[in-house]
């Protein structure tokens, strides 16, 4: 079952290839400062850290993504041109922390001020930031291990709206932004932490025994749960998230919604 448009899915697959390449390029870098990491007391952790990021490189990532968007959507030509013109290293220095904290309003204002399609700056800023989030999250993995994580990704703050059933058969909430993952009890709400009997309801999906939606009567949150052991094709978390967008619709049609932002890009 798949309700998303074929072109959009293809674009997401191409973006995945780009981000695989970007991840490779960051492999050797160290983005976090050990002293700062040792001093973390608040979560999400990544917005508390001064990541050492090469803004020229972030710029290149965005340029590569814009090239791809331009090729696949020629109608964006003038938006892309306007964005490129206004995207200085100084501007990107402002973008970076705003993208980490998902300040969509900031990017919408930027788009408006420069007469660019309102979704475009945020879309590229977010996709190009993910390799950094993923690398930094992997560097602080140990520090995140024992954190009580009800409510959001302890690394980047993303709402816990996606989980997999992992090889051990455990429900593992996995963050599609930074790829940090943590196991939770099957009957526990990943949003509010409620374990009270009857609070978590499991919605099964017709003709697909690899997917469920766990909804919570306590906080109204939902988490898509995908049994990756039943999938023949192994896919990245980002693509699993995109391709299970019908589960978001099921949850939302039933009146459930994620607490903060519900970005499904």
Candidate segments 15-23, 142-150, 155-163, 224-232, binder of Zn ion by CB under 5 A? 155-163
Write the binding mask 166 to 185 for Zn ion: x where contact by CB under 5 A, - elsewhere. ---------x-xx-x-----
| Binds Zn ion (CB under 5 A): choice among 33, 64, 143, 218 | 218
In angstroms, give the least distance from the CB of 265 to Zn ion.
Answer: 15
Q: Which residues have CB under 8 Å from 176's CB, separation 6+?
A: 158, 162, 237, 238, 240, 241
The residue ranges of DSSP E strands in 53-207, in sequence order, are 162-165, 171-174, 181-184, 200-205
CB atoms within 10 A of CB 78: 11
| Binds Zn ion (CB under 5 A): choice among 31, 162, 189, 258 | 189
Whole-angstrom Cα Rg for the chain:
19
Query: Residue 248 interacts with Zn ion (CB under 5 A)?
Result: no
CA distances from 112 to 83, 94, 129 (A): 11, 16, 21
CB atoms within 10 A of CB 123: 17
Contact present, 216 and 200 (Cβ < 8 Å): yes
Query: Residue 156 interacts with Zn ion (CB under 5 A)?
Result: yes
Main-chain phi, psi angles of 167, to 5 degrees? -55, -35
In angstroms, give the least distance from the CB of 53 to Zn ion.
Answer: 17
Query: Residue 191 interacts with Zn ion (CB under 5 A)?
Result: yes
In angstroms, give the least distance from the CB of 180 to Zn ion.
Answer: 5
The sheet with strand 162-165 has its strands ordered as 181-184, 171-174, 162-165, 222-227, 208-216, 200-205
Query: Residue 149 interacts with Zn ion (CB under 5 A)?
Result: no
Instruction: Please give the biggest Cα pair distance in the chain.
Output: 56
| Binds Zn ion (CB under 5 A): choice among 45, 129, 153, 173 | 153
In angstroms, give the least distance from the CB of 152 to Zn ion.
Answer: 8
In angstroms, give the least distance from the CB of 130 to Zn ion.
Answer: 9
| Binds Zn ion (CB under 5 A): choice among 139, 158, 212, 241 | 158
In angstroms, give the least distance from the CB of 157 to Zn ion.
Answer: 7
**By the criterion CB under 5 A, which residues form the site for Zn ion?**
153, 155-156, 158, 175, 177-178, 180, 189, 191-192, 194, 216, 218-219, 221
């Amino acid at each position: 079952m798949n309700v998303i448009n074929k072109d959009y899915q293809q674009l997401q697959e191409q973006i995945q290839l780009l981000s695989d390449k970007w991840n490779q390029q960051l492999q050797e870098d160290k983005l976090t400062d050990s002293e700062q990491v040792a001093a973390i007391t608040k979560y999400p952790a990544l917005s508390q850290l001064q990541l050492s990021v090469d803004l020229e490189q972030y710029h290149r990532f965005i340029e590569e993504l814009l090239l791809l968007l331009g090729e696949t959507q020629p109608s964006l030509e003038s938006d892309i041109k306007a964005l490129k013109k206004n995207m200085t290293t100084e501007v990107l220095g402002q973008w970076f922390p705003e993208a980490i904290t998902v300040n969509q309003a900031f990017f919408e204002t930027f788009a408006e001020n420069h007469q660019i399609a309102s979704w475009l700056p945020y879309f590229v800023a977010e996709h190009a930031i993910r390799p950094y989030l993923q690398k930094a999250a992997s560097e602080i993995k140990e520090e995140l291990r024992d954190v009580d994580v009800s409510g959001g990704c302890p690394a980047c703050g993303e709402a816990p709206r996606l989980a997999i059933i992992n090889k051990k058969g455990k429900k593992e909430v996995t963050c599609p932004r930074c790829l940090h993952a943590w196991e939770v009890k099957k009957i526990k709400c990943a949003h509010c932490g409620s374990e009270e009997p009857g609070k978590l309801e499991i919605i099964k999906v017709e003709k697909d025994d690899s997917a469920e939606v766990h909804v919570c009567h306590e906080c109204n949150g939902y988490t898509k749960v995908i049994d990756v052991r039943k999938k023949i094709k192994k896919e990245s978390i980002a693509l699993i998230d995109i391709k299970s967008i019908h589960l978001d619709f099921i949850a939302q049609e039933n009146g459930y919604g994620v607490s903060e932002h519900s970005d499904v890009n």
